[in-house]
Structure 1
Amino acid sequence: MSKLSFVAIALVIAFSGGVSAQSSDPRGACKADYDKFCAGVAPGGGRVVACLNGKRDQLSAACKTAIDSRKKQ
């Protein structure tokens, strides 16, 4: 995955709810899951988060935790 794509994903996640300092960082926690399940998804409009949520049963525990902590805010 290119550096630009990773930055775009990070921005999508950061601007779609944020993450508290106590929770896992979704950019790092979900990178491998994004690469595996959602690499073809164009960032923007919540598409990456929707893709990850659609694959929730297959995500790593760290990614699930990061996404859940994002939803609580």
Structure 2
Amino acid sequence: MRLTLLALVAVLVATGAAIAQSPASPAAGEITPALRAACEGDYKRLCAGVQPGGGRILQCLKTHGNEVSEGCRSALSEHRP
């Protein structure tokens, strides 16, 4: 019984470590924390009237691609949903 419990704990710890190390891919249209930080000012300036959800903010930022800051443009190009 004790050996089974120790084995179960070892599996759970290993699984938790593996999950913590693998980065989660953002869902389609989801804005990551890095993208939010890079584009917050551009969002407020160009897309403040856009209702969040359904990828609308991300689409607005992409539509204004030539007007966003260099940092936001770079973050948008690296964003892979």
- Structure 1 residue runs of 4+, over 3 Å off? none
Partner of 2:55: 46
5+ residue gaps, structure 2, are 1-29
1:1-73 aligned within 5 A: 12-14=30-32, 25-71=34-80
Partner of 2:24: none
Q: When the two structures are superposed, what TM-score results if normalisation uses the length of structure 2?
A: 0.59
Report how many residues are paired. 52
Letter in 1 for 2:54: G
d(CA) in 2 for partners of 1:45, 1:27: 16
With CA pairs under 8 Å and 6+ residues apart, which has the higher RCO, 1 or 2?
1
5+ residue gaps, structure 1, are 1-11, 20-24
Letter in 2 for 1:45: G
